[in-house]
């Protein structure tokens, strides 16, 4: 049963993660001013693959346990928000709206971690790296916003 559940949760992660390949960082992102500590491009898929394995493991463990309702609801919420960020940031090039989505994602990941932890400590711990990474991604999104004020203004204006 664990492996069936793991496969389903991992497929959900892959659906969310596929946005990274579909809306990949193009010339627009490369030309943005970025903080000195910006990770190189190759780091992102490596980190996300690790995080997706942790997320699917946590989801599958808790799905088999009683009183998992809140954790399962938050797991679904964070994966939906995870799918949303890349199309908003890289697809629409909306830096400020990306920040809004990332803030919502951070809150949902934190809530999922707490809810998982109450059912199964190991599952809660498996969400710690994810929360750390979303914090880093949030700091990066915020830095990009601060360093590219005109771009942030322009890209957020409605299309003509």
Decide whether 40 or 66 has the Cβ nearer to its own copies. Answer: 66
Decide whether 32 or 62 has the Cβ nearer to its own copies. Answer: 62
Q: Is 122 in the site for its own copies (CB under 8 A)?
A: no
Report yes or no: 109 and 130 within 8 Å, Cβ to Cβ: yes
Give the integer Cα–Cα distance in Å for 118 and 15: 27
Decide whether 70 or 147 has the Cβ nearer to its own copies. Answer: 70
Decide whether 33 or 154 has the Cβ nearer to its own copies. Answer: 154
Q: Is 68 in the site for its own copies (CB under 8 A)?
A: yes
Q: Is 99 in the site for its own copies (CB under 8 A)?
A: no
Query: Over the range 139-153, which residues count as b (16 or more CB within 10 Å of their CB) and which as e?
Result: ebbbbbbeebeebbe
Phi-psi region of 106 (alpha: psi -120 to 50; beta: other; left: phi over 0): alpha
**Footprint of its own copies (CB under 8 A):** 1, 4-5, 8-9, 11-13, 15-16, 18-19, 22-23, 26, 59-60, 63-64, 66, 68-70, 72-77, 79-84, 87-88, 91-92, 97, 104, 159
């Amino acid at each position: 049963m664990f492996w069936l559940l793991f496969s389903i949760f991992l497929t959900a992660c892959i659906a969310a993660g596929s946005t990274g390949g579909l809306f990949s960082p193009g010339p627009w992102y490369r030309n943005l001013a970025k903080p000195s500590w910006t990770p190189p491009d190759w780091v992102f898929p490596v980190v996300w693959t690790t995080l997706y394995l942790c997320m699917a493991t946590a989801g599958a463990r808790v799905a088999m346990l009683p009183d998992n309702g809140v954790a399962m609801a938050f797991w679904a919420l964070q994966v939906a928000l995870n799918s949303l960020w890349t199309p908003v940031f890289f697809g629409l090039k909306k830096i400020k709206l990306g920040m809004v989505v990332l803030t919502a994602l951070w809150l949902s990941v934190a809530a999922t971690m707490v809810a998982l932890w109450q059912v199964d400590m190991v599952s809660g711990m498996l969400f710690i790296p994810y929360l750390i990474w979303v914090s880093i991604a949030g700091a990066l999104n915020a830095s990009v916003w601060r360093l590219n004020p005109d771009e942030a203004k322009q890209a957020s204006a409605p299309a003509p």
